[in-house]
Amino acid sequence: MNKIFRNSALACLLIGGLSSLDAQEMPKNGWQASLDWVNDVGDMKKMKDGLGYSLGLGYQFNQETFGYRLYLTAMCFDSFDGTGFNKTRPHFYGGLDVCTTTFFNGSVSFFGGVLGMSWNQSPEGVTNPRFTNTANVGTKFNNTKLGGRVGAQYHINDEASVSLTYTVAQGNLAFSPSWLTLGATYRF
pLDDT tens sequence across 117-167: 988 877 777 777 777 655 444 456 666 889 999 999 999 988 999 999 999
Average pLDDT of 167-185? Answer: 89
pLDDT tens sequence across 45-89: 888 877 899 999 999 998 777 899 999 999 998 888 887 777 678
User: DSSP readout, 109-162?
Assistant: EEEEEEEEEE----GGGB-SGGGSTTTT--S-SSSEEEEEEEEEEEESSSSEEE
What distance in Å separates the CA atoms of residue 137 and residue 106, rounded to the nearest whole number? 46
In angstroms, how far is the first alpha carbon of the chain from the final one?
35
pTM tops 0.85, yes or no? no
Query: Domains, the chain, ranges and CATH?
Result: 2-187 (2.40.160.20)
Residue 66's pLDDT is 85
Query: Which tops the pLDDT comparison, 90 or 18?
Result: 90
